[in-house]
Structure 1
Amino acid sequence: MQALTQPLRGMPRLRDRYGDAFTTYMPVFGRVVVISDPAEIKQLFQTRPDVADTPDRNLGRVLGPGSFFALTGEEHRRQRKLLVPPFHGRRLAAYETIVEEEAERELATWPDGQVFATLPSWNRITLNVILRAVFGAEGTEFVQLREVLPALVTLGSKLAVIPVPTVDWGRWSPWGRFRAIRREYDAVVERLIAKAQQEGNLDQRDDILAMMLQSRYDDGSSMSHSEIADQLLTLLAAGHETTATTLAWAVERIRRHPAVLRDLVAEVDAGGTALRDATIVEVQRTRPVIDMVGRQVRTDGFQLGRWAIPKGYGVIVSIALIHDDEKIFPNARVFNPSRFLDAKPDLYQWIPFGGGTRRCLGAAFANMEMSVVLRTLLRDFTLEPTDEPDEPWHSRGIANAPGKGGQAIVRRRTDRASAATTGAHSEVVR
């Protein structure tokens, strides 16, 4: 339980006692092998799905049977092939305007010169971005989803780490409440689908719902409405709270590193991106929102590096342990974005988005969103540094958030406004 709820202390203590691989029991997952050796992690991520694939007990329990988390083998490959394109290239660039609009709208409400938690703002921004860019929602459906989805995600993230009860306790139980909210969500998605099909301009829209409605599998068949609803919810769950929480950690980190903050502001004013991108990578390394990613062994005699792992066992990669490995990241406990200025991270060692065929397909979208939001913040506000102690880790079920919500003190910038605007414009053009 400590490993699940206190990753900063739990996993390191187990590693210090047992070494870089150990077997333990985790609620929901059962008996698992936890690994943190880079070679073994790489082998696991490269293993064929028929040998080791997503655990049977995963987020698919709350996101639905059509979710990426629930799909395995060929079904997972088919749907992933359909949904990769909108997260790259022209479509990804088109979403930048949406992100900046939502960031400017939310940041305009911030108090001047007062301490406040930024996490609620990041949650609102990322939710609105997904509703527009992914769901294509507007009007009544936009309002309804803004009410339904936060409750669905918050409750679902807590239920995902506890066993499903064998007895149905009805609508007043946590699972009963979740299913009732899910029915509301499904009804709104059905209305969105019906409206999109009635309007008939799908090829002129950039949102991912429109793309899903037009997409076809290799055999010519289309996605069912239930598959679309499950995948839309999956994209929301994967890209809403996690991105918002990482932004809160980013504020928490850069306020405690004045030199980094100063250089970030100078770079924004000059229209650059390199240090900001490296800072986002370093935040994800030092403060991973999701602490573990796993597979389940599906064949007998799976040889993983030094270990022979029986069929049915789970294999958990501890993200915190690999990110804290001194052999991979010298002075690993030091927040140092410059380590990623001249070298992109190895995707088998820096794994906030998972790895292999299960790596989050929205990783590029999330990093773009965080970059645009931080650019907007540093362009329009002076973020005051602090010498207060680090904010503690707080488990929100699936995500690990800063315990005080990423507190900040900001003041609206009046200096170099025209230079900042010019820099931001040139960056969008590029």
Structure 2
Amino acid sequence: MTETVTVVQPEITEARIPPGPRIPVVLQGAGYALARRWMVKRISRRYGDIFTLRLPMFGRTVIVAEPQLAKQLFQANTEDVGNVQPNLSRILGSGSVFALDGTDHRRRRKLLTPPFHGKSIRNYEAIFEEETLRESANWPEGREFETLEPMMRITLNAILRAVFGADGEQLDELRRIIPPWVTLGSRLAVLPNPTRDYGRFSPWARLARYRSQYDAVIDQLIERIESDPDFEHRDDILALLLRSTYEDGSAMSRKDIGDELLTLLAAGHETTASTLGWAFERISRHPDVLAELVAEAATDGNEYRQATILEIQRVRTVIDFAGRHVYAPAFELGDWAIPRGYSVIVALAAIQERPDEFPDPDRFDPQRFVGSRPGLGWIPFGGGTRRCVGAAFANVEMDVVLRTVLRHFVIETTTAPGEKVHSRGVAYTPKSGGRVVVHRRATALGQ
């Protein structure tokens, strides 16, 4: 669990706001919604690593593209800055960890942390391998196919089994509900809330119908697990949450548990699958990297595979921003003092592409992480008290999935240009789905 340093803000008497472009608000909003990475790069060339925008969703917003400033924001006192408003809780529910701030957020994270660290994650490794082998059993040989959708199914099935501990009819229903819900929710998450009701055929109404179906399934699953004679000894995530209590002895409500499980199912599986899609897109275009990965897959080692995953997360950032909302009268950030009510957005992708942090940043080079820990500029999971609680879970899952595929398949290399970056709303994926050509090995590596 990441230790957070509380930074006490000095008394600030007046605002000092970074400059920004003087273009119409509607154009700023459209540019940020449709091409925010390109927009951040263009504006930062003129205004530097910190500048101000006016965005329809977040209001007056300071964009940060410098690692020291990002660290200062992430380590700030949570009474001074909290979660960005609006945030994913409007999609995932008011009981999601995304909705909470301050003490409530710290208490919730303390309950969520145990299932995603140490021994708990090691218990899931067999699930990751089994789901990879099950999904890849019918992969076509010698013919190009997209890896993104198979990775989506692997990661969804793995998190479902980790959360609920078993398979069954209800999980089949969740497999039907979650994928279209995630696709729709990702698109709506980057749009402002509607100002009026657009009727039962609107995207927001469809999202609500998916949520109603999801809630009904979760109620059935909770009742089934609570009535299990072996309930006290179950190690699945839902059972752990149902048994967990806060310091005062109170427990999470069913609604809060449902919101948190939806957060795990939706946010967890899409981002991990997107990174894996990029993994196959990248290694198929870098023969030396692929050869090193294959050689390592025949052993029990994973140093180079871990370095490759870190580099994929850097050079093909799936979630490209992390935000905070200023609650203090003014929040000091570097040379600036940001007034109450402002949003502060960290441009994660821009920071991970800085040449002063990563020399020749456009080069795909896992070697830069071999034998060294990621530095300040590597922040794909965000930072501080709001760093992704499932980061360790995702890392182990990606490692096991990649190792399993390398052991059982030969991946053809290609000289084709790299796939373009495609926005699914919240996550960025390979535009063509991370297409590769594979051949099954006669004998799996390491056997």
1:211 alignment partner, SS class: helix
Is 191-200 or 166-175 further displaced after alignment?
A: 166-175
Match status 1:420 vs 2:434: no
What is the CA RMSD across the aligned residues, in angstroms?
1.2
**Residue from 162, 165, 168 that aligns with 1:136:** 165
Q: In 2, distance between residues paired with 1:382 and 1:207?
A: 34
**Residue from 128, 132, 149 that aligns with 1:99:** 128
Q: In 1, distance between residues paired with 2:254 and 2:334?
A: 42
Identity among equivalent positions (%) equals 53
Q: In 1, distance between residues paired with 2:294 and 2:37?
A: 30
Match status 1:286 vs 2:302: no
Mapped contact 1:137–1:192 kept (Cα < 8 A): no
Match status 1:382 vs 2:410: yes
Q: In 2, distance between residues paired with 1:8 and 1:315?
A: 16
Mapped contact 2:164–2:236 kept (Cα < 8 A): yes
Q: How much has 1:31 moved relative to structure 2?
A: 1.7
Match status 1:184 vs 2:210: no
Give 1:251-290 correspondences, 5 Å limit: 251-290=280-319
Q: How much has 1:8 moved relative to structure 2?
A: 4.4
2:345 alignment partner, SS class: strand
Match status 1:336 vs 2:362: no
Code of the residue aligned with 2:263 in structure 1: it is T
Aligned pairs, how many? 418
Q: Deviations over 1:316-358 (max 9, x none)?
A: 0001111011111111111110110111113x42111110000
Q: Deviations over 1:343-386 (max 9, x none)?
A: 1113x421111100000010000010000000011000000011
Code of the residue aligned with 1:391 in structure 2: it is E
**Residue from 32, 37, 57 that aligns with 2:86:** 57
Q: In 2, distance between residues paired with 1:25 and 1:400?
A: 23
Q: Name the structure 2 match of 1:411.
A: 439
1:420 alignment partner, SS class: coil
**Residue from 38, 43, 58 that aligns with 1:14:** 43
Is 119-128 or 136-145 further displaced after alignment?
A: 136-145
Q: Name the structure 2 match of 1:363.
A: 391
Is 396-405 or 12-21 further displaced after alignment?
A: 12-21
Unpaired segments ≥5 residues, structure 2:
1-29
Q: How much has 1:29 moved relative to structure 2?
A: 1.4
Q: CA distance change for structure 1 residues 68 and 220 in 2, over 3 Å: closer, same or farther?
A: same
User: TM-score with structure 2 length normalisation?
Assistant: 0.92
Is 203-212 or 79-88 further displaced after alignment?
A: 203-212
Q: How much has 1:264 moved relative to structure 2?
A: 0.3
**Residue from 138, 141, 145 that aligns with 2:174:** 145
Match status 1:43 vs 2:69: no
Q: Name the structure 2 match of 1:427.
A: none
Match status 1:167 vs 2:196: yes
Q: In 2, distance between residues paired with 1:184 and 1:226?
A: 14
User: TM-score with structure 1 length normalisation?
Assistant: 0.95
Mapped contact 1:278–1:340 kept (Cα < 8 A): yes
Unpaired segments ≥5 residues, structure 1:
422-430
Code of the residue aligned with 2:446 in structure 1: it is A
Q: In 2, distance between residues paired with 1:420 and 1:220?
A: 48
**Residue from 288, 313, 316 that aligns with 2:342:** 313
Q: In 2, distance between residues paired with 1:367 and 1:247?
A: 11
Code of the residue aligned with 2:125 in structure 1: it is E
Q: In 2, distance between residues paired with 1:369 and 1:322?
A: 25
Q: CA distance change for structure 1 residues 405 and 27 in 2, over 3 Å: closer, same or farther?
A: farther
Q: How much has 1:12 moved relative to structure 2?
A: 1.2
Q: How much has 1:235 moved relative to structure 2?
A: 1.0
Mapped contact 1:60–1:70 kept (Cα < 8 A): yes
Q: How much has 1:47 moved relative to structure 2?
A: 0.3
Q: In 2, distance between residues paired with 1:335 and 1:420?
A: 27
Mapped contact 1:326–1:332 kept (Cα < 8 A): yes
Mapped contact 1:301–1:310 kept (Cα < 8 A): yes
Q: In 2, distance between residues paired with 1:27 and 1:382?
A: 48
Q: Deviations over 1:282-328 (max 9, x none)?
A: 00000000110010110112111111101110000001111011111
Q: Name the structure 2 match of 1:425.
A: none
Mapped contact 2:63–2:344 kept (Cα < 8 A): yes
Q: Name the structure 1 match of 2:228.
A: 199
Q: Deviations over 1:230-269 (max 9, x none)?
A: 0001111221100000000011111111000001000001
Q: Name the structure 2 match of 1:351.
A: 379
Code of the residue aligned with 2:112 in structure 1: it is L
